[in-house]
Structure 1
Amino acid sequence: MARTLSNMIPIGTLAPDFKLKDTNLNNEYTFEDLKGSKGTLVIFMCNHCPFVLHVLKEIVMIANDYRVQGLGVIGISSNDVEKYPEDSPEMMTEFAFKNKIDFPYLFDESQDVAKAYDAACTPDFYLFDDQNRLFYRGQLDDSRPANGIPLSGSDLRSAIDALIYNRSLKEPQKPSLGCNIKWK
């Protein structure tokens, strides 16, 4: 597990479109298909990363709390499944069911989507406004596995609230930290 920081791409960057298979429903979706009326949260994640496992319940709560307010939530796994078979589409389906992931969990087999977003780690969070422009990229909160800081989702929740309620966003935005994406 390489501790990797997210790449802090410029605020205002347009969301790269994609067409990926949802491992929960076996349908293909684009960003446009899944975006929310108020904004869209794209999360690069995977099944085995200890950083993702540490924050997963909070991610699911955030998705459930904000989906009803017009936020689209999309999970994407881009890991090389030849080297990491626990991240295969079949295992993603099982993982989503076991962890009550109700949002689309998409498989980026070619890794082109991760490259288009300049994703570096899992979890990696990208919050886009209703015009598909990047509003926030950064961490969920300061909690990490074994650092003793309670999980709150405070940074991401504050960003989502600012987006939905048209408030200014606190600066600076801190990068996420997690396992590196497992490139082919």
Structure 2
Amino acid sequence: MLLDTPVCDFGWKAPDFTLKDSDGKRYTMSEQLGDKGLLIAFICNHCPYVQAIAERFSNDMKELQAEGINVLAVMSNDYRYLEIDSPPFMKKFAHQHGFTFPYLVDEDQSVGRAYKAVCTPDFFGFNKDGALQYRGRIDDAAMGNPTNRTKELVNAMKQIAATGQGPKQQIASMGCSIKWR
């Protein structure tokens, strides 16, 4: 089911959480909230929208990390519904696309629910104080040809890192609905 994310609720405070990656290593959101902010991306392995952007998403996240902006990816789907979203496949997906950031499993879906994540991909850009400043799409290419694209997510996160404020104009991300239990 195709869904769009809601409009950014500027200033909304990110709930803290601790999740594990597919190897069992724990990551706490508040410990990842750096001086230049944090991007949390709700993604999964099976979604054609995520698959279409996976390579440029990985490259864009490397660009953000080089700027000192931290990144966490969270998989909130019920992977009992779709085995391809299970932790062993998450590890393979992350390796295949060269992820340089943690890809975390939201086993009980509590983080996805707390953030009111709607679809994959769903991007949440926070400033250094943990206040939401971006909830838009990755770029203007969508599932099309990424040549000559505008890196809306990268540009927004760089603006947040520099000023603490996100762009006022944001276009919703769209993708597959999260598979809730």
Q: Give 1:7's aligned residue.
A: 6
How far is 1:149 from its partner? 6.3
In 2: Cα distance, 1:76 partner to 1:152 partner: 25
SS at match of 1:54: helix
Structure 1 gap ranges (5+): none
CA contact (8 A) 1:4 1:178 kept: yes
Q: Does 1:111 align with 2:98?
A: no
Q: Deviation above 6 Å: which 4+ runs of structure 1?
A: none
SS at match of 1:138: coil
| TM-score between the two structures when normalised by the length of structure 2 | 0.92
Give, as a single letter, the amino acid of the residue that structure 1 aligns with 2:157: I
How many residue pairs get matched? 181
Alignment of 1:126-165 (within 5 A): 126-145=124-143, 147=144, 150=147, 152=149, 154-165=151-162
Structure 2 gap ranges (5+): none
In 2: Cα distance, 1:182 partner to 1:153 partner: 30
Q: Give 1:175's aligned residue.
A: 172
> Root-mean-square deviation (CA), in Å?
1.8
Taking only the aligned residue pairs, the percentage that are identical comes to: 35
Q: Does 1:17 align with 2:16?
A: yes
**Residue deviations 1:22-81 (CA, integer Å, cap 9, x gap):** 12x421111022222200000000011111111111211121112122211000000011
SS at match of 1:178: strand
**Residue deviations 1:68-99 (CA, integer Å, cap 9, x gap):** 22211000000011111000011101111111
| TM-score between the two structures when normalised by the length of structure 1 | 0.91
**Residue deviations 1:84-137 (CA, integer Å, cap 9, x gap):** 100001110111111111100000011110011110000000000000100111
In 2: Cα distance, 1:144 partner to 1:136 partner: 17
